[in-house]
Amino acid sequence: MLLTRIAPHITWGLRPGLLPSKKVCQVVALLLALALAPVGQSRAQETSGDEATLPLNGQADRFAFHGQATYVWQRKPAFSAAYSGDNSLRAEREKSYSFTATLDLGARLWKGAEFHFNPEVTQGVPLSGLHGLGGLTNGELAKVSSTNPTAYRARAFLRQTIGLGGDTETVDADFNQFADVVDKRRIVVTAGNFPVLDVFDAVEYAHDPRTQFMNWSFMTHGSFDYPADARGYNWGLAIEYIGEGWAVRAGRFLQPIESNGLPLDTRMFEHYGDMVELEKSYTVYGQEGKVRLLGWRNKARMGRFSDAIALTQASGGDTPDVGQVRQEHAKVGLGLSFEQKAGRDLGLFARLNWSDDKTETYAFTEIGRSVSAGGLLTGTAWGRPNDMLGIAMALNMLGPNHRAYLAAGGSGAFLGDGALNYGHERVFEVFYSFQPFKGVMLSPDFQLIQNPGYNRDRGPAKFIGMRFHGEF
C-alpha cells in the first residue's frame, strides 16, 4: 500500500504513542487508493467540459463524493523559560500529531438546492495539552483531541441558491460544492450543521490548515471568537446576497454551553453569535482583489476579567478565576481583510482585527487583537506549477483587562503562566507543499513564535512539522 511505503518517511522519530491507530491507517490507505484510482480519472474526463456545469440536465453530477485525509506531525525543541504555570507551553522538548479523515456525501435536491453530509474521524496528541499560545501551531488539532480515533458528524447542511438574473458565472466542483453555472446576482441561504468559517472571512490564501498555513493566527481573524463547538463546527443559518463585484452576508450560530466546550447551547435567541460581513471586489493594475469588513457580536454567560480581579481583591484570594464571575455578557469585534493577486502565481493577504477582549475566550483562541499578512506562491517559475510556497507573519495582542488578569496569575482556556511580563506574540510560518502523486501533498513546515503566550520571560519557541494531505 502507498501509505505503508511513505509512512516511515513522514513519521520518522515518533514514539509509538504518537502514531495513528491501525484503523486510522486503513482509512488513509482507502482514501489514497480512491484518490489515485484510474476510474477516478476516467470519471473526471467523462464529466469534464460543459457536462460538469449543467446541473440536472444530464444528471452527471446529481451526487457528489469527495474525501480527504490529513496527517500532521510536529516537534518542538526545548526553549528557555523563567517560570511556567498550569497552562504554559512546556519548556521541554515535545512531539505532537493530528489525523483527520473526512467524506463529503452530496446530493442535488431541486433547482438551486444541494445537501452535504460530512462524516469525520479525528485522532491526535497536542503540544502541551493545547496550552501556552495565542497562535496555536496546528489548526487540525481540536480541543477534544484524543489518542483514540473518534467518529462524528462534521457537517449536515442545506444550501439554496436563488438566481436573480443577469450575467452568469461558473462555480467549480469542490469539497461541499457542486459544479454549476449561476447568476452573478444571487441569494445563497445555508442552514444546518456547518462551521462559521465555511461562509465568513473566506480569504483565499489563508483559510485552510489542511492545505495552507497551519497556525491558528492565519485561519481567520485571530480575535474573531467565532461560535463553534470544541471541534470547530456548529449549527446555524447564513444568508448571502452576492452582486456583481460585491456581496453582503449575515448569520446567527449557536454558542457552546461552556467556554470552549463540545455541547452546544440550543437557546438560539438567548445565547448566540451574530456576524455581518461586507465584501467588495476590485482590480488594481489588472490584478483582482477583494476587501472584506466583518463585524461580530457574541452573547453568552461569560466571565469578565475585571470582575474576576475585583472579586479576588475583595475576598483576599490569591489568583482570579473567570469561572467564578460568569454572567450574561456580550463580546464584540471587527475585522478587515484583503486578498490580492500579484501576477499569475502569487497571492497576497492581510488581516487587521480587534475585539473588546473584556471577557473570557468562549469558542476560538486567546487573541484580543491581531495583524497578519503573507502570501502563497506557486512553483511555475522553477518548473513545479503544482507546488506552493507559503510565508506569513502575525502580531497577536491582548486587551488591557486580559493582560491584567494573566499578570495576576489567572488562567484562561489556553493561557496561564502564573505571571506575565507582557509582550506581543509574534508568529512566523513558512511551508512548502509538493505533490509526489496527483491528489497527494507533502508539506514541510516551520514556525517561530516569539513571546509565546504574550510572555517576554519565555521563548522563543520553534516548531518543525510535516503535513501529509490526500484528497479526491
Higher pLDDT, 405 or 20: 405
* Chain centre to alpha carbon of residue 179: 24
Cβ-contact 141, 119 below 8 angstroms = no
What are the structural domains, with CATH classification, of the chain? 2-38+79-471 (2.40.160.180)
Which pLDDT score, from 0 to 100, does residue 227 have?
A: 97
Which pLDDT score, from 0 to 100, does residue 256 have?
A: 96
Sequence-distant (≥ 6) Cβ neighbours of residue 460 within 8 angstroms: 79, 448, 449, 450, 451, 452
255-296: pLDDT as tens digits? 999 999 999 999 999 999 999 999 999 999 999 999 999 999
Higher pLDDT, 17 or 419: 419
The helix/strand/coil state of 276 is: strand
Distance from C-alpha of 463 to C-alpha of 90, rounded to nearest angstrom: 13
* Chain centre to alpha carbon of residue 395: 18
Distance from C-alpha of 261 to C-alpha of 143, rounded to nearest angstrom: 8
Averaged over 221-226, what is the pLDDT?
Answer: 97
DSSP states along 101-137: EEEEEEEEEETTEEEEEEEEEEEEE-GGGT-S-SS-S
* Residue 58, pLDDT above cutoff 60: no
Each residue of 307-341: b (16+ CB within 10 Å) or e?
A: bbbebbeeeeeeebbbeebbeebebebbbebbbbb
Q: Confidence class of residue 25 from pLDDT cuts 50, 70 and 90?
A: low
* Chain centre to alpha carbon of residue 210: 9
Which pLDDT score, from 0 to 100, does residue 21 have?
A: 53
* Residue 160, pLDDT above cutoff 70: yes
* HSE-CB of 427 using CA atoms within 13 angstroms: 28
Q: How far apart are the first and last CA of the chain?
A: 17
> E-strand spans in 305-363?
326-341, 346-355
* Residue 212, pLDDT above cutoff 90: yes
354-373: pLDDT as tens digits? 999 999 999 999 999 999 99
Which pLDDT score, from 0 to 100, does residue 26 have?
A: 53
Distance from C-alpha of 250 to C-alpha of 428, rounded to nearest angstrom: 32
- This prediction has a pTM of 0.87
Q: Confidence class of residue 191 from pLDDT cuts 50, 70 and 90?
A: very high
